[in-house]
Structure 1
Amino acid sequence: MTTTTGSLRVDDADLHYELRGHGPLVVLVGAPMDARAFEPLADLLATDHTVLTTDPRGINRSRVDDRERDSTPELRADDLHRLIRHVDAGPAAVLGSSGGAVSALALVQAHPEVVRTAIAHEPPLNELLEDRAELRVKTDEIIAIHRTGDPVAAFRKFLEVADIVLPDEVVEQMLGGERPAQDVADDEYQHNRMLRPTTRWLPDLDALRGSPTRVLVGLGEDSTGQLCERTSRALAAALGTGPTPFPGGHIGFAEDPVAFEPRLRAVLGG
């Protein structure tokens, strides 16, 4: 599969993006996950779709002018709008996962004309939950721990808050020891500039309910009991719908793209 890479200059950033295939446009986006997490799924879809992936602003190859400026859902939505216009293949079906799901919802609110279907897969919309105040405190604790220079402890706290269980050896393998400088920089940007504005974003529910865009809330079948199951169900209930199930857990698209791809096709076709 041929992949075309490019960089789009916006007001305050250079956005790295990748294009594959030909056909109706599908955008796959995460936050803080970059384009690499979507490569296997993008290759599967590109047999009959144009697939756009990108590194969100401030992460990996998408460089920002000011790393002290927060990466808000509104800014990331504007980036997606500009990218979709730039590749000139829309309107798009957008699969946003985690923080990317929040970006996708903000995109629908601001620019529904460029999105025909938006799938918000497990958006961490903590403000929709009754224990939102407690979750704000816990999020601040994650950030504070990370700022002490202990990314392993910060990630363990993140997993605790997210109600995700991973073996200690997996956590150590992911974050322990010497890490590439870019991974460290991305981790710092995520904690300092992305985590708080993403989890504290409150969607305009009236705008989403009244949008001409088809808005679906994706939920992993293996995410039972996790924080993002609660946020996803809360959003779906607020929109007057039910969650749309997908294989796997919070990052099922990356863990098993072969299982995820036919389900995504079925949902887009529906």
Structure 2
Amino acid sequence: MKYIILLLFIHKCVTFDVPKSGCKTDLTIDDDHYNVTETYNVGDVYPTDAHYDPYGNLFFVEYGRNYKGYFFNIKVIKQNTTDAQNIPGLPDGESYSIAVDKKNANVYFGTSKGIFVFNYYRNEATLVSNPDFKLNMIFIDKDGNKYITDNPNDTEELYLLAGDKKIRFRSFEALNEMAIDDKNNFYYIKDEKLFVLKSNLSKAQFIGNVSYKGFAQISFYEEVVFVASETLTYIHENDTGSLKLVKNIPGKVTAISFDNSGNFILGTYGKIFKYTANNNECYHRKN
């Protein structure tokens, strides 16, 4: 008799003793659940323009203020580390933008002293343009073509680079933020509105309203477009509805980037949070 009671006791433990950590979800996007698995402290700065390279290293721009005024520095958190490191060779306080060339596995930096590329062997940045070359933001499409923005007349304008020659895109001006997806569609924020210029169309399409207070980032995973602009919103590429709001974000977010596995980071003042998919299932007692 006592063996039957013992078996019943074990059966109840196996059925109902579920670890609480397996059921906890920090953030949900559609039907996918994510948990914070790493927190990087980055100091008294805003992390912006974050990008994973093909090897799992996270590059980002830190924006802050010191006794000299405002500064922009590019840093890297290498795979399997937790500390943000400086990148030797970049202009101090004047490194503004990052672009990953997925086709050629290179990372480029836009600075006040020209365009630099990350040298993995030397662990430093190397100048690949004229040091007098002016730009604010840099982008690279799926074919390896480079684009930059500049504001010669106090209006942000977009150019295609052909060697040292700049070819202006006249349909793009007064941009706040921009990103190019893996299909060479151009997504951009202008006047607190999100637009897309698809590669097979000649006219941009309005997607939806977004808040913009000076910091934002557009990012992609598979066929979903994400916008981190204090809030975090997203929309499926072919969806005609409005942008969806992600709840439970860790404050006002200024950066977002996805790695090759679909895990992602969110940047907010002083911190970068890494989110990993939670594939654990919660079992509930059935009456």
**Same fold judged by TM-score > 0.5?**
no
Q: Structure 2 length as normaliser, TM-score?
A: 0.25
Which structure: greater strand fraction?
2
Q: Structure 1 length as normaliser, TM-score?
A: 0.27
Larger Rg: 2
Which structure: greater helix fraction?
1
